[in-house]
């Protein structure tokens, strides 16, 4: 299962993602935690230093990951033709959550034998005035599309705040997208906009809103009214969690008075049908292939697609 946490900046999405990772760990699941926020918050919340050299978007790591994924797939034509939506094909290597998977060994930090953490990276000084975080996320798109998950495996991604997932293929890569919303006008407006874009992109059904920092029934009623219905789950204001964060300590399940919201999210998630995802990704690949900058930099990448399934 692949699940993303997003929402307005400051909504608590990174903290909720970290708590959800720990919830899955406590249940004995295999987990790959992905910090895809430009601010690199999830990795430290899990006790991992987000070093620039270890970032997936570091040029050396991008080439290493893509070279591995290509395998003997002749449809791609080399690393220089690997674009964000390049699909796996005959001979491609897929990434698993097994502890000995080469990608995890080279690029992930192990919290325990069943839990690994990777981070995409952030802006560096060299990027000032000439960098775009969307470009950093391309390697995450490649990783997600080349995953092979067993039953019970989880990928938990802390996404960049706001609606940036619709600028690339990430909105089609997850089985569940959790929009974390505080009971404030700014936060619910982001949740509503996410819902609108998800509908336009054909993934409205994989979207769920979870309330956070909810103090009382007035907050619950506000979220239900502004969102047009009650959130999937609600995490109330947690004094223990706030004290832990004020002390600079990674959040723990023990800091929560009530972890039912995490259980509700896990129970709600359902895998997207493989055929549906393939069709979504095929459409997005053809759309990207038609861009002038893609044709100029990578050539005709439509040939990377196999025949349309009958």
Helix (H) or strand (E) holding 212: strand 207-214
Residue 196 pLDDT more than 90? yes
Contact yes or no for 95/104 (Cβ under 8 A)? yes
Q: What is the pLDDT of residue 50?
A: 79
Q: What is the pLDDT of residue 174?
A: 96
Average pLDDT, the chain: 91
pLDDT tens column, 23-50: 999 999 999 999 999 888 999 999 998 7
Q: How far apart are CA 179 and CA 4, in angstroms?
A: 8
CA distances from 6 to 147, 178, 210, 243 (A): 21, 6, 10, 23
Residue 190 pLDDT more than 90? yes
Contact yes or no for 10/39 (Cβ under 8 A)? no
Contact yes or no for 145/281 (Cβ under 8 A)? yes
Residue 123 pLDDT more than 70? no
Helix axes of 59-70 and 133-145: crossing angle, nearest 10 degrees: 30
Question: Which CATH architecture fits 2-304?
Answer: 3-Layer(aba) Sandwich (3.40)
Confidence of residue 310 (pLDDT cuts 50, 70, 90): very low
Q: 157 vs 132, which has greater pLDDT? A: 157
Counting beta carbons within 10 angstroms of the beta carbon of residue 257, is it exposed (0 to 12), middle (13 to 18) or buried (19 or more)?
exposed
Mean pLDDT of 197-203: 94
Contact yes or no for 165/177 (Cβ under 8 A)? yes
Q: What is the pLDDT of residue 172?
A: 94
- Map tokens 């999405």 to a residue: 13
pLDDT tens column, 142-159: 999 999 999 999 999 999
Mean pLDDT of 46-60: 91
> Domain segments of the chain: what residues?
2-304
Residue 279 pLDDT more than 90? yes
Contact yes or no for 300/289 (Cβ under 8 A)? yes
């Amino acid at each position: 299962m692949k699940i993303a946490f997003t929402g307005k900046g400051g909504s608590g999405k990174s903290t909720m993602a970290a708590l959800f990772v720990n919830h899955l760990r406590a249940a004995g699941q295999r987990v790959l935690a992905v910090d895809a926020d430009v601010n690199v918050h999830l990795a430290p919340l899990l006790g991992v230093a987000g070093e620039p050299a270890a970032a997936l978007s570091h040029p050396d790591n991008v080439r290493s990951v893509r070279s591995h994924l290509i395998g003997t797939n002749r449809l791609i034509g080399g690393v220089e033709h690997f674009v964000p939506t390049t699909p796996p094909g005959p001979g491609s290597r897929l990434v698993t959550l097994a502890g000995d998977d080469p990608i995890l060994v080279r690029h992930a930090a192990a919290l325990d034998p069943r839990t690994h953490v990777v981070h995409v990276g952030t802006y560096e000084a060299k990027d000032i005035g000439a960098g775009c975080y969307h470009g950093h996320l391309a390697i995450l798109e490649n990783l997600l599309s080349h995953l092979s998950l067993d039953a019970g495996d989880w990928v938990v991604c802390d996404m960049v705040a706001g609606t940036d997932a619709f600028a690339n293929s990430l909105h089609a890569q997850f089985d569940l997208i959790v929009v974390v919303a505080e009971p404030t006008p700014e936060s619910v407006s982001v949740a509503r906009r996410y819902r609108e874009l998800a509908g336009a992109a054909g993934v409205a059904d994989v979207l769920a809103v979870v309330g956070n920092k909810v103090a009382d029934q007035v907050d619950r009623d506000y979220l239900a009214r502004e969102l047009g219905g009650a959130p999937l789950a609600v995490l109330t204001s947690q004094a223990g969690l706030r004290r832990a964060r004020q002390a600079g300590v990674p959040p723990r399940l023990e800091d929560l008075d009530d972890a039912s919201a995490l259980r509700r999210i896990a129970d709600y998630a359902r895998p997207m049908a493989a055929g549906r995802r393939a069709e979504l990704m095929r459409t997005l690949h053809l759309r990207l292939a038609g861009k002038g900058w893609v044709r100029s930099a990578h050539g005709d990448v439509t040939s990377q697609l196999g025949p349309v399934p009958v």
